[in-house]
Structure 1
Amino acid sequence: MTDIYDALVIGAGMAGVAAATKTASKGWRVGIVDALPYGGTCALRGCDPKKILRRGAEVVDAARLMAGKGIDTGGLSINWEDLMKHKHGFTDPVPESMEQDLKAHGVETLHGVATFTGPTQVDVGGTPYEAAKILIATGAVPRPLGFPGHEHVIDSSEFLNLEVLPPRIVFIGGGFISFEFAHIAARAGSAPIILDRGERPLKSFDADLVELLINRGSDAGVEVRRLTSVTAITKSSSGYTLHTDIPGTSDTSGARQTLQADLVVHGAGRVAELSRLNLEAGQIDHGHHGVKVSGHLQSLTNPAVYAAGDAADTAGLPLTPIAVIEAKVAASNMLKSATSVPDYAATPTAVFTVPELVRVGMLEHEANDSGLNIDVRYTDTSQWYSNYRLGETAGAAKILVDRDTDLIVGAHLFGHGYAELANTISLAMKHRLTTRQLKSTTAVYPSTGSDLSSML
C-alpha cells in the first residue's frame, strides 16, 4: 500500500527543512527524505564547520599581526586534532537534533535514496510514496573531473574531516572552497597551492580587491598559480604528482609542469545533485544547473514538482540563505497555489579568507554596462584605525553609487570584519537608503561599522 502525503520534500538540508516545517505548520501531512544525515551541506559539510576551522586560522593570524606589538608568538600553532574535535562538537549532534525538531513540527522523517517512479510517485528504499506536491532540495555536489587520476582528489567534505593536515596541499580551482580552505591550511602550517585554469580567480568578485586578497594570502603562505590546468594525477609512495599544462602566449610556447603534493583537494565548482532522482520518470525537465523551473519555482514540465536551492536552475546565488528563501517561497506557493517569486535584491556574499572578501550588488563593469551614471568610490583602508589596532595592513572598499539617485548599486569590501559591514550595506540597498541617509546615522565608535560613512 502506498503512503500518500500532501507534500514530500527530497533533501534534508536547510532549504528542505524550512519547506517541510512551513507546510506541516499549515496542517499538511508532510514527509522529508534524505540518503545522508539530516542537516545538509551547510551545517555538516560546508559553511558552519568551515568557519569553525577558520577561527583557528583567525586566532593565529591575529597573533602574528601583533608580533612585536606586545604579543609573544613563540610556540604559536594550531593543534589540528583538537580543532577538528571542536568542529565535531558542533556538527555531530546536528542530524539527530534536526530530525527530532522536524518530528516535533509534525514532519515524518524518511531515510534512503529517493527516486521518481511517476509524476507524483517516489520510491525510497523499495517503499512507494505518493505526494500531491514534491519539493526537490537536494543541493549540489563537486562537478566531475575528467582527467586521469581524478579518483585521488578529495572533496570539501573530506577536507573538513581530515584527521591530519599534511604539509603539501594543492587545491584545484580558483573559487570559494579553494581560497577559504587554503587560508585555513596556511595558518595551520601547511604550504597550500591554488591552481586556477583562468587568468583571474574568484571571477564573481571585484578584480581589484581579488588582487589585494591574493597578495595578502601570499604573505600568509598561500600560493596562487594562474592559467594552470591539471591534465593528470599519479600516485607514488611519496604522495601525488600533478601534471599540468600552462598555455602559451603570442610570444611564448606553452609548458608542461609537474607538481608534488601530499593531498589534492577539489575546489573546481559544484553541480546540482540530481543523479539519483530518475527525473525522467517524474517528467521533470532539468539541465546542468538544476531542475528547470519558472520564476515561482514550479517545474516547467511537471506542475506537482517544485525545486529550490542548488538543485534548481534559478537566478539566485548558490548560497544557503538564498536556498532557504527559495524553499519558503516554494512552500508558500504549494500551499496557496500561488506564483510568488523570490526576492534576490542586495544579497551579500563573502569569501571567508583571512581577512574576508565581500560583495553586494553589481560589479563595476555590470554597473557601467547597465547605463547607470556611476560614481566609483574607492578607499584604501589599510592604514585606518580599525585595521591599525589589529596590526593589519590590508584593506579596501569600493562602493558604486548611482549619481542620479544617490543609491548604492554595488559594494565590494576586503578587510577584517567587513562581512558584518556588508550586512548594513545590504539592508540599505534593499530598502533604498541613500548614501546621505547612511552618513547621517551615528554609529558606535570606534567600530568597523563606524567606517562606513568614510567609505561613502
Structure 2
Amino acid sequence: MAFQHFDVFVIGSGTAGKNIAKDCATAGLKVAIADNREFGGTCSNRGCDPKKVLLGVTEILYKASKLKNKGITKLPEVRWEDTMGWKETFVDAVPAATEKDLEKRGIIMYHQSPVFLDENTLSVEGKTVTADKIVIATGQVPTELKIPGRGHAQISDDFLNLEKLPKTMIFIGAGYIGMEFAHIAARFGVKVTVMEFFPRPLINFDEDMVEHLLKASEELGIEFIFNAEVNEIEKLQKNFRVNALQNGKKISAKAELVFNTAGRGPSIEGLDLEKGKVAFTKKGISVNKFLQNTTNKNVYACGDVSDSAGLALTPVSAYESEIVSANICREKSPLKIDYPFQPSVVFTLPNIASVGFSEKEAKEKGYNFTVEHKLVPEWFNSKRINEKVYAYKTLVDNKTGQIIGVHLAGPEAAEIINLFTLAMNSKTDVKQLKQMLFAYPTWGNDIKGMV
C-alpha cells in the first residue's frame, strides 16, 4: 500500500503548531497536523487562558479586601462551582473551533501522537506517512515526581477541572504554576501549603521582587516550607501526607489534595526521536539559529518543546512559529531567529513581572549600569487602592542610557512590563522616555518615575 505523503507534517496543535500548519497550507503546501489531546494546545485549553479566567474572580476579592472600611463595607461572596462554569465558556469551544479552522484550509488532521520510523517517515493512527518537512511543536508536560506515591499527586490540568474545592491543599513546587494556583485556591478559602526544594519561590525571578510577593502570600495565609526535598506521598484515611527532608531532618505535611507543580519538561516521550535521528536534550529538541534540528535538517522545532533561547511562553511560541513557517515556505533564503527582549509574568496578586537582564546577568555581560530599586506604596496609584506592595527595580546602561532590565511587583505589573518591553525593544533611552506624554493618573505613567 502506498504511503500518504505530505509536504509538511506538524506534531502539536497549540499556538506554534497550528500557526505553521495554516501558514504552509496558505502557501499551497500539502499539510497534516497531529495531536494526542484536544486540538488547540495547552494555553487555550488547560493553561494560560482558563487560569486567567479564575484569576479574574480573585482580582475582585483582592481589590475589595484592600478597600474594606474605606468605602467597601462587605466583601463579595465567591462560589467555585459558578467560577468553573464561567471558565468552561472560554475553553469548551476551543477544540472544535480549532479543527474547523484547520479543516477549511484543507489540512489533514490526526488525533494521535505519531512516532518516527526514520528521518522522514512517521507512523500515526496505524498509518505510515512521509513528509518532506516535519515540525515538532508538542509543548511541555508536567515533570514526573520520581518518588514513591507520585501517582497520588494531581497536576495543573486537574486543578483547572476541580468540581469542588477541598479545605486543604499542598503544592509541591513554588514555580509560577504553583504560586499562581496557590493564590487562587487561598482566595477561595483553601488552607494552602507550598513545599519547595529551593530556599525561596520563583527562583528564576528577581529575589527582591519575590520577597515582596512572599510576604504578601504569607499574609494571605499560605504556608511555605522551603529547602524541602520531597521523597514520598502517602495515602491516609482522609488525607495525603507528603514526607520530605529539610536540612537533613524528616518533616511532613498533610492535606486533602496534593498537586505536582514542580516544573514542566519537553513533551517528547514516545516520539521515538532516535529513529528519526532527531537530537534532543533535557530541555527539548536541539535546534540551530534557523530552528532546524541539529542532526535532522528536515525537522524543525519551535515553542516550549525546543531547546532554544526563547522562554517557554505563548508569545514566544508564536514568534518562533513565524520563523519556522518562513524557513519552510522560503527554504532558499532562510531566516535566523533573533529574539527581542521577552517579558515574563507570574499572575499572582500582586503580580511579579520581569523583562531583560537580572543584575547578575548584566554584570556577566560586562554592562556598566545603574540600578534603581524602590518600594513605593506612597505613589498615587498604589495609595488610592491601599496597595502596600508596589516595587520596582530598573537597570539602565550608563553608556547608552537604554533600559536593559526591569523587575516589578505590584497589582498591575503584568501591564506595566509591556510598556518597558516596548521601550527596550525600540531602543528608547531614558531621556526620550521621560519626555513622552502619558495619560495621568495611570499606572503606565509611573514608568517615567522608575528610571
TM-score normalised by the shorter chain: which range applies?
over 0.9
Instruction: Report the equivalent of 1:325.
Output: 319
Q: Distance in 2 between matches of 1:184 and 1:108?
A: 39
* Counterpart in the other structure of 1:158: 158
Aligned to 2:373: 378
Task: Name the counterpart of 1:37.
Answer: 38
CA distance in 2: counterparts of 1:259 and 1:198, whole angstroms = 17
1:299-326 CA distance string (max 9 Å, x none) = 1111111111121111111111111111
Shift of 1:69: 0.5
Q: 2:397 is matched with which residue?
A: 402
Query: What letter corresponds to residue 61 of structure 2 in structure 1?
Result: V
- State the shift of 1:113 in Å: 2.3
For 1:349 and 1:85, how far apart are their aligned partners in 2?
Answer: 28
Contact 1:358 1:418 in 2 (8 A): yes
Calculate the TM-score normalised by the size of structure 1.
0.96
Contact map agreement 2:395 2:404 (CA 8 A) in 1: yes
Task: Give the conservation status (yes or no) of the 8 Å contact 1:121–1:128.
Answer: yes
Deviations 1:65-105 (A, max 9, x none): 1110011225x332101100111110010000011111223
Aligned pairs (5 A) from 1:54-453? 54-74=55-75, 76-247=76-247, 254-337=248-331, 338-453=333-448
Shift of 1:369: 2.3
Matched, 1:27 2:28: yes
Conservation of the 8 A alpha-carbon contact between 2:239 and 2:255: yes
Amino acid at match of 1:27: G
Deviation beyond 3 Å, 4+ runs, structure 1: none
Distance in 2 (alpha carbons) for counterparts of 1:68 and 1:53:
26
The alpha carbon displacement at 1:207 in A equals: 0.5
CA deviations over 1:314-360 (Å, ceiling 9, x no partner): 11111111111112211211111143222322110000001100000
Output the amino acid matched with 2:49.
Answer: D
CA shift digits 1:34-83 (9 cap, x unpaired)? 01001111111111111111111111111111110011225x33210110
Amino acid paired to 2:163? E
- Rounded to whole Å, the distance in 2 between the matches of 1:93 and 1:384 is 43
Aligned residues of 1:154 and 1:266 also touching (Cα < 8 A): yes
Q: Which string of whole-angstrom CA distances, capped at 9 and with x for unpartnered residues, describes residues 219-254 of structure 1? A: 11222221112111110111101111101xxxxxx3
Q: Is the 8 A contact 1:5 1:131 kept in 2?
A: yes
SS in 1 for 2:118: coil
| CA distance in structure 2 between the aligned counterparts of 1:9 and 1:347, rounded to whole angstroms | 25
Gaps of 5+ in 2: none
1: CA distance between counterparts of 2:26 and 2:374?
A: 48
C-alpha separation in 2, matches of 1:151 and 1:73: 42
Aligned-residue identity in percent: 38
Q: CA contact under 8 A between 1:325 and 1:342: conserved in structure 2? A: no
TM-superposed CA distance for 1:290, in Å, is: 1.1
The TM-score with structure 2 as length reference comes to 0.98
Deviation for aligned residue 1:379? 2.3
2:290 counterpart letter in structure 1: H
Tell me the secondary structure at the aligned position of residue 117 of structure 1: strand
What is the CA RMSD across the aligned residues, in angstroms?
1.1
Post-superposition offset of 1:160: 0.6
- Give the AA of the match of 1:140: Q
Q: Alignment partner of 1:265: what SS?
A: strand
Deviations 1:418-446 (A, max 9, x none): 21111111111111000111111111111
Q: Which residue number in structure 2 is paired with residue 9 of structure 1?
A: 10
Contact 1:21 1:105 in 2 (8 A): yes
Note if contact 1:10-1:34 (Cα within 8 Å) is conserved in structure 2: yes
- Counterpart CA distance in 2 for 1:391 and 1:349 is 25
The code of the aligned residue for 2:345 comes to A
Counterpart secondary structure, 1:421:
helix
Provide Cα deviations, 1:178-217, integer angstroms capped at 9, x if missing partner.
1000010110000111111111221211100100000011
Which whole-Å CA distance do the structure 2 matches of 1:399 and 1:223 have between them? 30
Give distance in 1, aligned partners of 2:88 and 2:38. 14
Equivalent position amino acid for 1:401 in 2: V
Q: CA deviation at 1:370?
A: 1.9
Give the AA of the match of 1:205: F
> SS state of the match for residue 232, structure 1?
strand
User: Residue 399 of structure 1 aligns to a residue in which SS?
Assistant: strand
Aligned partner of 1:250 in structure 2 is none
* Unmatched 5+ stretches in structure 1: 248-253
Contact 1:194 1:222 in 2 (8 A): yes
